[in-house]
């Protein structure tokens, strides 16, 4: 069941989103060639806890870190590793979340590391913009599928792939709540959006085909064809007017 948040719950989620936005802004400053993904995770956890929050990803269904760090052909859920370092030319997705007084916020950003290829740069730009194309339709009275269709149409207009096996989600006291939010068109319109719904919308876009596979660690999702992948996510609030982006 999709929950409608009260004004008090929305205020708590606003604060969770504000804190998470600050965490992402600071994390972006440490993304440089030579840093280990484990060090990024350490910095992320310290920042979240220093704000009085709990890192929502740590130990979630057994995930061993506070931030998913996915590099190049990794779509999502990459596990930080002290022996893995960012290199010039990489693109890296940082996906993390916080719990503030029992309420969650979830957001992801893909960063470029030094000088990257034109394809990599374009992929990161289009992935981010596809989120904003989608939320043009995130208004009370519209249907969930309006968001999904807009994301897919924009990403595919550049020849990119839209991952089918992973989707966005509702969010609140739980990280994953109803509804599921695909980034591609469905046959059904989906639920009608209503003010007070809080959603995590997260395009996952590839430079090649949309097919993905899970690696042996059970977490990391990679593109089957080895093409680059990019991920962009925010927690948003449906209102009677324009959507409010809580984690920006």
- Residue 160, phi then psi, degrees to nearest 5: -90, 160
Q: What is the DSSP string of 171-193?
A: -SSSSSEEEEE-SS--SS--PBP
Right CATH for 5-243 from 3.30.230.70, 3.20.20.80, 3.90.230.10, 3.20.20.70: 3.90.230.10
Please check if 77 is assigned to a binding site. yes
Residue 175 · residue 216 · CB < 8 Å: no
Distance CA 138, CA 151 (A): 12
pTM: 0.98
Q: Is 169 annotated as a binding residue?
A: yes
Task: Pick out the chain residues at pLDDT < 70.
Answer: none
106 is in an annotated binding site: yes
176 is in an annotated binding site: yes
Alpha-carbon distance of 2 to 199, in angstroms, equals 10
Domain boundaries, the chain: 5-243
Is 111 annotated in a binding site? The answer is no
């Amino acid at each position: 069941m999709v929950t409608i948040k009260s004004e008090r719950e929305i205020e708590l989620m606003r604060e969770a989103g504000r804190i998470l936005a600050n965490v992402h802004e600071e994390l972006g400053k440490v993304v440089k060639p030579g840093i280990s993904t484990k060090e990024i995770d350490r910095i992320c956890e310290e920042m979240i806890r220093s704000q009085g929050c709990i890192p929502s990803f740590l130990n979630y269904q057994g995930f061993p870190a506070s931030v998913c760090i996915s590099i190049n052909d990794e779509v999502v859920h990459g596990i930080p590793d002290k022996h893995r370092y960012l290199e010039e030319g990489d693109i890296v997705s940082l996906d993390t979340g916080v719990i503030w007084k029992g309420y969650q916020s979830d957001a992801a950003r893909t960063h470029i590391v030094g000088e990257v290829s034109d394809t990599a740069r374009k992929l990161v730009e289009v992935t981010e913009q596809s989120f904003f194309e989608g939320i043009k339709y995130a208004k009370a009275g519209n249907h969930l599928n309006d968001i999904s269709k807009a994301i897919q149409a924009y990403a595919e207009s550049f020849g990119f792939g839209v991952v089918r096996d992973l989707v966005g989600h509702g969010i609140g006291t739980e990280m994953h709540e109803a509804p599921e939010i695909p980034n591609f068109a469905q046959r059904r319109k989906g639920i009608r959006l209503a003010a007070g719904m809080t959603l995590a919308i997260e395009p996952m876009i590839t430079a090649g085909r949309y097919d993905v596979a899970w690696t042996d660690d059970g977490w990391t999702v990679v593109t089957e064809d080895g093409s680059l992948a990019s991920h962009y996510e925010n927690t948003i609030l449906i209102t009677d007017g324009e959507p409010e982006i809580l984690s920006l």
